[in-house]
């Protein structure tokens, strides 16, 4: 599913114009991104939680050359599905 697909779904189900639906999606994504930049998790009830995790620097290996390299510290986002989402997926009735 793409951003355009989300806009289309909002257009069809709610009746907002496509421009308004796109603005709504952009505001939502910008708000979520800002939360990530501040190190906050984003919890959407009934769907799941996006968690910002800090990974420490570590030693790694270039698989192509076998050379040892230093992997820099970084932040990543992980997702944990809620129990309600897991139940829906197991039943296959989305």
CATH code of the domain containing 27: 4.10.520.10
Residue 65 lies in a domain: no
Residue 71 lies in a domain: no
Structurally, the chain folds into a number of domains equal to: 1
Residue-number span of the structural domain to which 24 is assigned: 1-39
Residue 24 lies in a domain: yes
Residue 53 lies in a domain: no
Determine whether 85 is exposed, middle or buried from the number of CB atoms within 10 Å of its CB (0-12, 13-18, 19+). Answer: middle
pLDDT at residue 93, as a whole number = 65
pLDDT at residue 92, as a whole number = 80
Give pLDDT < 50 ranges for the chain.
none
pLDDT at residue 94, as a whole number = 61
Residue 45 lies in a domain: no
Residue 87 lies in a domain: no
């Amino acid at each position: 599913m793409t951003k355009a697909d989300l806009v289309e779904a909002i257009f069809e189900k709610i009746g907002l114009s496509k421009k308004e639906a796109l603005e709504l999606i952009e505001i939502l994504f910008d708000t979520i991104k800002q939360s990530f930049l501040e190190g906050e998790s984003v919890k959407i009830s009934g769907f799941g939680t996006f968690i910002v995790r800090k990974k420490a620097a570590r030693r790694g290996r270039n698989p192509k050359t076998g050379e040892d390299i230093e992997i820099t510290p970084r932040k990543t986002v992980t997702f944990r599905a809620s129990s309600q989402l897991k139940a829906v997926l197991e039943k296959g009735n989305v």
